[in-house]
Amino acid sequence: MPSSQVPLRGRTVKQQDARTGLLLLTPTLVIVLAVVLVPLAWSVLIAFQRVRLIDVGRMGLFDRFTLDNFARVFASDVLWESLRTTVFYTAGSTFVAVSLGLIAALALRRPFPGRGFVRAAMLIPYVAPVVAVTFVWKVLLNPEFGIVNSWGKQLFGWDDPIAFLSQARGEITLFGLDVPVPTALLTVIAFEGWRYFPFAFLFLLARLSALPGDLEEAATVDGATPTQRFRHIVLPQLMPVIAVLVVLRTIWTFNEFDDIFLLTGGAAGTEVVSVRVYELLTVQRNVGAAAAQSVLLAAVLVVLLGAYLWLLRRREGAKP
Amino acid sequence: MTWTRDRVERAVLGVLRPVVIVFFLVATLLPFYYMLMLSLRPIEDLLRRPDSLFPDLGGLTLSTYADVLRPVTEGGQGFLSLLGNSAVVASASVVVALAIAIPGAYAVSRLEFFGRRQVSSLFLVVYLFPSIVLAIPLFVMLTRMQLRGSLIGLVLVYIAQTVPVAIYMLKNYFETIPPSVEEAGLVDGLSRVGVIRRISLPLALPSVIATGIFVFMIAWNEFLFALLFLVERRDRWTVSLGLAQLSGSIEVSTTVLMAGSVVITLPIVLLFFLTERLLSQGLTSGAEKG
């Protein structure tokens, strides 16, 4: 190679770097391909095939294709019911978790003795094993020996214990009117708020600590009250983080399985789509229908992800 | 002294702030206190006085822990061996995930190559992608490869689930190392891999540890895949799966299961408190830049 006898040094280093870069990344790409992308593609194939759980061992990759699974999934009333539940659950949980996170972050904004401990303690619900925390909540709310019901009876004079996790519809009396409420669904949303507010709190507190103080000081000099400063100076600067948090929480809650499965098993009006996928797979043993349902879920997710990436790009574009 | 709006707000917020802090602190810690307290009480005491937040100090017992840890053959719940399964699965996931993610993160943060940006987006998508969608094809795949019911299959899935997050966390750290330090190494005749081993990795060690602990926590806490792959093999259950399966049965008393919950939660909370600062920084380093 005559032309490279006197190579430009920078260029060969660059070429070498490019090769090393791909080489270093290969193991990651291989495992992501093998355990995420290929299975996803396969899932789409299965969604168009008749596969029962007992056939799994001897099914072919390209067996006869059919639309039966989707027809079955779409025809079922349960789908629309569970989609409605999922949307309500997602919107409620996201709203509660992000709002609580914001309140907590604002409360901890200024230093006080013990702040480090309080901050760490408030992250525990998020890091603790989901199986353990759902179990504690189940016992806390147990109608027979849970502390919430026994205190409710003593302090608030409840006549009967409330079956927080197994009652689909309850009634609360407001101004003499009996208002029906989806008890179990609201309880699950409260749990999500409790478990995931730390995530929002962590990110909002990090952003709050990085805010430059001069704007707020100037506003204080100009006579702005604390709530005015929050409304017009702090909140606008937090909005980008809040937007990202809302999208992330929406994506994750929309597909959440563990929490609801462990708390209610999907009973009492809490059957979200992901729990239904699991039931199609293990109870009805219909792998094809389960795959169809999950592909549908993935489609919704791709739309949400697209929105998120678009938001992210717009944010990066807006930066100087 | 007039009560201007500013003064009123300051006074109200001054009172509200500590109230809010105490409220959050109680709300987050009370369930964990309740867990610990129930695990030390005999079940009869719980049924007799369900409303008490403070156990009868004379009646405290550790028999619940003995019960839950003892092997099934000796009439216990066998949590000790389940803890062993979880420890093996989580440690293996950490070791392999780090071995894969460290070079990957270095490549993404430092080296210019074709498709670098696309790769970053791909990892973000994988990180955000929900387990339930992957659960079905993985279930089918592992059944066919006869890896269902084995811990190896589970570890493979955990690695794929954690490598993207690990790369994200490590990448942020590698980017803070000044390139000039590495260039000095290159000039001195080290290869790229030599630079990573001798210079970048030692500098990034704290964040490598934090990332490893994060992976450990994800693998230890995971439930869905353990349920799908291992449910029929009680001897291979992870400890999370064990607790979930047993809490559905009425034969095991609540206080014994509470002891099980404490046993699962304690290692995670301890690890978390040891590395809390590092972890929070690693996760939020994107947010501070706005």
In a shared domain, residues B10 and B93: no
pLDDT value of residue B289:
44
Inform me whether the C-beta atom of residue B120 falls under 8 Å from chain A C-beta atoms. Answer: no
- CA–CA min distance B71, chain A (Å): 20
CA atoms within 13 A on the CB side of B177: 23
CATH H-level superfamily of A84-237 = MetI-like (1.10.3720.10)
Q: Which of A42, A123, A129 sits opposite B137 (nearest CB)?
A: A42
Task: Name the residue type at position A104.
Answer: A
Lowest mean pLDDT among B177-186, B219-228, B234-243: B177-186
User: Which chain B residue lies closest to A278 (C-alpha atoms)?
Assistant: B132
pLDDT value of residue A317:
57
Does residue B210 lie in a domain region? yes
Helix-helix angle A130-140:A183-210, to 10 degrees: 130
Residue A196: name the closest of A110, A142, A259 by CA. Answer: A259
Supply φ then ψ for residue A177, to 5 degrees. -100, 140
Q: Give me the residues of B, 214-253, that contact A with CB < 8 A.
A: 217, 220-221, 223-224, 228, 240-241, 243-244, 247
CATH of the domain at B203: 1.10.3720.10
Does residue B76 lie in a domain region? no
Does residue B65 lie in a domain region? yes
In a shared domain, residues B100 and B64: no
Mutate to test the interface with B, among A11, A15, A52, A139 (most CBs of B within 10 A): A139
Lowest mean pLDDT among A88-92, A130-134, A144-148: A144-148
Cα angle, residue A175 at apex, residues A169 and A179 outer, rounded to 5°:
15
Tell me: pLDDT of A175 over 50. yes
Task: Report which secondary-structure segment, H or E, holds B210.
Answer: helix B201-221
pLDDT value of residue B266:
93
A177-181 and A170-174 strand pairing:
antiparallel
Lowest mean pLDDT among A131-135, A173-177, B89-93, B235-239: A173-177
Q: What is the DSSP letter of B41?
A: S
**Percent of chain A at pLDDT above 70?**
90
Q: What is the largest CA-CA distance in chain B?
A: 80
pLDDT value of residue B219:
93
Q: Give me the residues of B, 139-178, that contact A with CB < 8 A.
A: 139-141, 143-144, 156-157, 159-160, 163-164, 167
Q: How far is CA A272 from CA A188, A257, B53, in A?
A: 11, 8, 34
Q: How far is CA A268 from CA A76, A188, A256, A264, in A?
A: 18, 11, 17, 7
HEC assignment per residue over chain A: CHHHCCCCHHHHHHHHHHHHHHHHHHHHHHHHHHHHHHHHHHHHHHHCECCEHHHHHHCCCCCCECCHHHHHHHHCHHHHHHHHHHHHHHHHHHHHHHHHHHHHHHHCCCCCCCHHHHHHHHCHHHHCCHHHHHHHHHHHCCCCCCHHHHHHHHHCCCCCCCCCCCCCCEEEEECCEEEEECHHHHHHHHHHHHHHHHHHHHHHHHHHHHCCCHHHHHHHHCCCCHHHHHHHHHHHHHHHHHHHHHHHHHHHHHCCCHHHHHHCCCCCCCCCHHHHHHHHHHCCCEHHHHHHHHHHHHHHHHHHHHHHHHHHHHHHHHCC
In a shared domain, residues B44 and B181: no
In a shared domain, residues B175 and B247: yes
The tens digit of pLDDT for each residue in A253-284 reads: 988 899 999 998 888 788 888 898 898 888 88
Does residue B176 lie in a domain region? yes
Mean pLDDT for chain B?
Answer: 85
Tell me: pLDDT of B288 over 70. no
The tens digit of pLDDT for each residue in A40-86 reads: 888 888 888 887 777 766 666 667 777 778 888 787 778 888 888 99
The total domain count for chain B is 2
d(CA B37, CA A50): 51
- Domain containing residue B243: 82-288
pLDDT value of residue B125:
77
Question: Ranked by mean pLDDT, which of A306-310, B37-41, B81-85, B109-113 comes out on top?
Answer: B81-85
Does residue B74 lie in a domain region? no
pLDDT value of residue B136:
87
pLDDT value of residue A319:
46
In a shared domain, residues B96 and B195: yes
In a shared domain, residues B148 and B20: no
In a shared domain, residues B165 and B251: yes
In a shared domain, residues B236 and B118: yes
pLDDT value of residue B269:
92
Q: Which of A56, A136, A207 sits opposite B140 (nearest CB)?
A: A56
Residue A82: name the closest of A299, A269, A268, A248 by CA. Answer: A269
Lowest mean pLDDT among A119-133, A189-203, A268-282, B175-189: B175-189
User: Which chain A residue lies closest to B53 (C-alpha atoms)?
Assistant: A147
In a shared domain, residues B94 and B31: no
- CA–CA min distance B108, chain A (Å): 7
In a shared domain, residues B126 and B235: yes
Does residue B202 lie in a domain region? yes
Chain-centroid distance of CA B180 in Å reads 35
- In sequence order, what are the residues at sequence separation of 6 or more whose Cβ sits closer than 8 angstroms to the Cβ of residue B117? none
Does residue B11 lie in a domain region? yes
Contact in structure between B130 and A255 (CB atoms under 8 Å): yes
